[in-house]
Amino acid sequence: MLSPHEFATLLLVGDARDQTELNRADLDALFEHQFIAFEKVSSERQNPHLTRNGRAVLKAMAHIRRIADPQRGRDHDVRSRMLHAPEGDSVDPRSPEKALPV
């Protein structure tokens, strides 16, 4: 099982932004679980990257979040319909398909 810090580190590695501030102990734990691997960039530097297992963990966690918070998915659908509604129409958030005239 991952600690909250290890899970956060896994998210940061997956995000692939600035990885200079990552905790070495968390990286080592993720490496032991085979969730990350290291790519040698130079003789002094290695960059962590997700393995197939690491990507699977993040994908599973995203799926669990959608199940645990169905409103999150519903809100995303409403926002998406609002962005793609014809000009002059508004979207009724209670209805999955209907756009209301303004």
Give me the pLDDT at residue 45, please.
84
Give me the pLDDT at residue 102, please.
42
Q: How far is CA 44 from CA 39, 41, 47, 48, 94, in A?
A: 11, 8, 10, 14, 56
Successive 10-residue mean pLDDT values, the chain, 102 residues:
90 79 92 94 87 92 75 54 50 48 44
Domains of the chain: 4-84 (1.10.10)
Task: Please state whether 16 falls in left (phi above 0), alpha (psi between -120 and 50) or beta.
Answer: left
Rounded distance between C-alpha atoms, residue 72 and residue 68, angstroms: 9
Stated pTM of the model = 0.61
Residue with tokens 């990885």: 19
Cβ burial of 7 (10 Å; 0-12, 13-18, 19+) is middle
Contact 73, 96 (CB under 8 A): no
